[in-house]
Structure 1
Amino acid sequence: MHPEDANDAAGPALPAGWQPFEDTGTGPVDPWAEGGAELPDRHLPLDHEDPTPSAVIMAAQSAPPPPDEPPTAPITVAPLPDRTASDATTVLPPASPPAAAPPPGTGTWPAAQPPHGSGAWPVVHPQHGSGAWPVVHPQHGSGAWPVVHPQHGSGAWPVVQPQRGSGAWPVVQPHGTGAQPVVSGVPGYPQQVPSWPVAPPPRRRWGRLIVLLAVLLVVACLVAGGTAVLVFPWLRDRVTGGGTAPDGSAPSPGFGASLPDRQAWIKDRIGAALGAQQKALLSGDEQGYLAVVDPAAEVKVRDGLRRQFRSLRAMQVAAWTEQPTHPLPAPDGQVWITELRSTPCFVTPICSSAPARAATRWRIADGRALLREWAPVQVQPSPHPWQVAELVAVAGPRTVVATTPEHEDRLARLLTEAEKAAKVADRFARPGKLPPRYVVYHAGDGAWGTWFSWKPGQHVSGGAVRVGPERWEIVLNERDSGPAMAGGVLRHELAHAASLAGLSDDDDKLWWLQEGLAEYAGLNGRRVRDYLRLTEIRRLMKQWDGDVESALPPRDAPAWQVVARYGVSGLTVRYLADRFGEAKFVDFFHRVVHDGKSVTEVSPQVFGVAWGALERDCAAYIRRTAA
């Protein structure tokens, strides 16, 4: 993948100021070692979830509670007699509340009468007209029940004196009850006694009432929302993400469906739109291809897809597959995000996968997916040239060559060179892995270094880019695409595309073997003495230890060392192919590179010679050739 000699028979010449492409990228480019980026599987706000009435509840809970009712009037008691009087009796409140009086008219509680004049239990009368006994509330803010203090200066608890001249203790009758008091012949406890002070009535909880009203409001909204969805189909689309499938395929999951169900249906709708687009592409229907675009999309979306359509048609697309990733709802809930992975087959409908990636957003309307946003992904090996450039192309029996319109006049010559190189490259393909078509892109100054997100540097003549697990495509630098250079560069790069197809793991330690085969293909049987890398090889021999298994040179290696390493690898493969035959060498190559076996294991099996001895023979051959 370095500049070939100006002499087509001897290889490429090195231009002035040439630097190794390892400074910015080296060898066949393989982005698949790092893997493709995926859309995060996150859970975003769903457009089918109804709004929660949190605002209503929070407003209610944040309001101040209603003020307490005015406290009940305090208990009125009779004046206390002077504690110093001879008939004064101190009465302590009982330890527990007395039992309530029996219902009116059922009898009286038997009780002993205290001695005449000794004092009595206080009797509390109900407030006039209330019909009920008063309830004693705790003192304001104290949290305790009120204590009745003796009158000022009496030093004793109040006692209610018997009515004058009755000889009996008064009996209290609730006002308005209609019951008649029953009086015993012996004065005793009053038939009705005041109840023990009870807890105050619970404070009204307005928050509970508001929560209840909020729940009722939610129910009403749900009922109203369901009715609105039935009445207005466009609202149903906003809530569920779509409507009834127009072509009778997967029906809409409906209101309240789970996210997985909705995602499956959205993906089905996007797939239906892509299917219609595929038919339009293969039939040459540009308007049908663009019909998937949302009318509300930006102009650049339609222009980008129109350019892609025309470039694919120019390259004679014969098959087209497009797979969307699992759709995710956008944060705004209005559109769905997915990534498209598209593979074109050129001229023939059979080819290996080469997924070009594009980020998209879709809107669902009346059960139909409409493309709102579209942009090629800028991560190697995307974007493919047909995604971002207007291309013109020609095709032959084994190759397709494409370039931009300003270089269209070079297509005929480049196609001829590419077809010759393809015949050489086919010899190195693994059985069953022969590429149906080699794809070659000729890049001008504006496009070089931007296609496939590859940064090779200006002094690189060309490169093989891995676009799929079993597919490599070629980029040719316009600067080195003249008649003297193009043939050698194309043989080198197409040999990579043929020999590495189906490679599961690209091991840098086998760089010497991969590049050696490509250098061997570039020479294509020409004389070794005309090999233009000999100058650098001779320079390396002064410090070389005879190891032919060179790993990928470091990026900071001097340019002449990189060139010399290419030359040593090329001469090693040339020696093996000349000594044992090209067919045996190709078998050796695939066992080591594709099957992952070591050279020490394979060498005796294929060549019948131990690798250690064979490597010494290769080193001696290289030294003789350099001398």
Structure 2
Amino acid sequence: MTDGVQQPAPRRLWPLWTVLVVVVLLLGCGLPALLVAAVIRESGAQPTVSRVGASAADDPATAVARGLSDRITTQLHRQSAALLAGDRAGFLAIADPTAHTDLRRRFGALRELKVTGWRAEPSGLPVPVIGKPGEWRLLVRFQYCFVAPNCRPSPVLIGTRWRENGDQPRLVAMEESKSVETGTRPWEISDLAVAIGARTIVATTPALRGKLPGLLAQAEAAAKVADGYAVAGSPPDRYRIFYAGRKEWQRWYGGDRPEWTAGYAVTVGGGHHEVVLNADGLSSGGTDDLLRHELTHAASLPERGYPGKATWWLVEGLAEFAGAGGQAVDRYEGIAEVRKLVGGGWDGQLAGISPADDASAERVGGSYGVGYLAVRHLVDRYGPQRLLTFFKAVVHERRTLDAAAEEAFGEQWSTLHDECVAYVRAAAA
């Protein structure tokens, strides 16, 4: 430790960790009731609020809010068109000057990411801000695409504040998405430098711009591996990778990861999992493995995440298998940690192998290694395609392990489980 900052360590001391935050896709037209209540509590207002499109007799307060919502929507559409056209002046034109610094940063970051789709629609109705006459807060659902012009858009719900101004309300502030869905996106709060390849987008801060050429080459190579693990449909149109400096690691997507985290993938909807790498937590030799691991999550996992801790070994085992790059079992980087875990009284149950957030790096490495070895055994015995059939049945279709094993392997899961455990113990001997 130097100056209270964690120094970089070998990858296996920062084992790979994936956060699977399930986005609540607000696909309906309207604000969920609990969220409406939260907005009202925050503002202190008690207006009549109804869902967009709901049939209700408008009282005067609702009629005012609905009319303002329509005018704000017009402004948002103007801003969206300006963003897609690369018109920064037009993007800023709907806002008060006090909001321009933040909006310039967002505009620049989104243009760097080659935004090709941007749609903004109110979610619910605006509510007045207590203590600020003429100012309103409105949640807006933004949907975005990067690079690919016809992608399935990823949604994000962001609070906005507006000041009444006749037919053209003025945007006072655009808030951070924070914990409403998956946490604050990098393009909301950071200047970005971006490199784009055939299969990947890699973004980082301007201070780390020099890392981009190497990271892009590594990401493109990892994407070729990850594409083979798209178990349900096509791979993502582009893998989105964000390389976080020390400050950004604490803020992007909410931060607050376990100390042993080197990277994670977070679902953002639209068929995308955005990957974040910890610049301070990577050794020079661990980035390739980590990228293969995390991009395999992005290719293989459903938008709603995986069923739970009982299948953690399968989700992480598949990603570790991809990350290992086909090396022999005895060359697997975490085999020493597996030996310590197995020799330290492991109960032999795959379902309970996931590590706690405060687990030691050694314990985490052992857990990932057990998952890797179990998946490795199934691949060695049945081949990769049957393993992916099993993975799809369990993780995507939420079928029981018994039913999935019978379908994919023609065997009872209890038998296969014991075989996997025996393989782990033998490899760790």
TM-score, normalised by the number of residues in structure 1: 0.59
Q: Which residue of 1 aligns with 2:5?
A: none
Say which of 125, 134, 140 aligns to 1:340: 140
Deviation at 1:410, TM superposition (A): 0.8
Unmatched 5+ stretches in structure 1: 7-11, 48-255
Mapped partners of 2:367, 2:166: distance in 1: 63
Say which of 14, 34, 38 aligns to 2:35: 38
Residues 197-231 of structure 1: per-residue CA shift (max 9 Å, x gap): xxxxxxxxxxxxxxxxxxxxxxxxxxxxxxxxxxx
SS at match of 1:342: strand
Aligned 8 A contact 1:469 1:504 in 2: no
Say which of 200, 205, 215 aligns to 1:399: 200
> Which moved further from structure 2: 335-344 or 492-501?
335-344
2:408 partner letter: V
SS at match of 2:268: strand
Q: Which residue of 2 aligns with 1:374?
A: 174
Taking a change above 3 Å as real, the CA distance of residues 462 and 506 of structure 1, as seen in their structure-2 partners, is same
Mapped partners of 2:85, 2:249: distance in 1: 31
Q: Which residue of 2 aligns with 1:188?
A: none
Answering whether residue 44 of structure 2 is matched by residue 14 of structure 1, we say: no
Deviation at 1:482, TM superposition (A): 5.4
Deviation at 1:497, TM superposition (A): 1.1
Say which of 183, 187, 199 aligns to 1:386: 187
SS at match of 1:321: strand
Q: Which residue of 2 aligns with 1:548?
A: 350
Q: Which residue of 1 aligns with 2:151?
A: 351
User: Where do residues 248-263 of structure 1 align in structure 2 (5 Å cutoff)?
Assistant: 258-263=60-65
Taking a change above 3 Å as real, the CA distance of residues 623 and 459 of structure 1, as seen in their structure-2 partners, is closer
Aligned 8 A contact 2:25 2:155 in 1: no
More strand by share: 2
Deviation at 1:608, TM superposition (A): 1.1
1:372 partner letter: V
Taking a change above 3 Å as real, the CA distance of residues 482 and 313 of structure 1, as seen in their structure-2 partners, is farther
Mapped partners of 1:506, 1:364: distance in 2: 46
SS at match of 1:351: coil
1:305 partner letter: L
1:319 partner letter: G
Q: Which residue of 2 aligns with 1:164?
A: none
1:320 partner letter: W
Say which of 411, 418, 423 aligns to 1:616: 418
Taking a change above 3 Å as real, the CA distance of residues 539 and 363 of structure 1, as seen in their structure-2 partners, is same
Taking a change above 3 Å as real, the CA distance of residues 343 and 483 of structure 1, as seen in their structure-2 partners, is farther
Deviation at 1:323, TM superposition (A): 2.4
Mapped partners of 2:316, 2:305: distance in 1: 17
Mapped partners of 2:414, 2:340: distance in 1: 25
User: Where do residues 546-625 of structure 1 align in structure 2 (5 Å cutoff)?
Assistant: 546-625=348-427
Residues 103-162 of structure 1: per-residue CA shift (max 9 Å, x gap): xxxxxxxxxxxxxxxxxxxxxxxxxxxxxxxxxxxxxxxxxxxxxxxxxxxxxxxxxxxx
1:466 partner letter: T
Q: Which residue of 2 aligns with 1:282?
A: 84
Aligned 8 A contact 1:392 1:404 in 2: yes
User: Where do residues 155-194 of structure 1 align in structure 2 (5 Å cutoff)?
Assistant: none
More helix by share: 2
SS at match of 1:372: strand
Mapped partners of 2:288, 2:240: distance in 1: 15
Taking a change above 3 Å as real, the CA distance of residues 401 and 304 of structure 1, as seen in their structure-2 partners, is same
Deviation at 1:358, TM superposition (A): 2.8
Mapped partners of 2:394, 2:146: distance in 1: 31
Mapped partners of 2:406, 2:45: distance in 1: 60
RMSD: 2.7
User: Where do residues 56-455 of structure 1 align in structure 2 (5 Å cutoff)?
Assistant: 258-295=60-97, 298=98, 301-326=99-124, 327-331=126-130, 332-379=132-179, 381-432=182-233, 434-455=235-256
Aligned 8 A contact 2:22 2:305 in 1: no
Q: How many residues align?
A: 399
Mapped partners of 1:436, 1:340: distance in 2: 25
Deviation at 1:551, TM superposition (A): 4.6
1:567 partner letter: G
Identical residues among aligned pairs (%): 36
Unmatched 5+ stretches in structure 2: 1-7, 27-31, 49-57
TM-score, normalised by the number of residues in structure 2: 0.85
Aligned 8 A contact 2:267 2:303 in 1: no
Aligned 8 A contact 2:18 2:266 in 1: no
2:104 partner letter: R
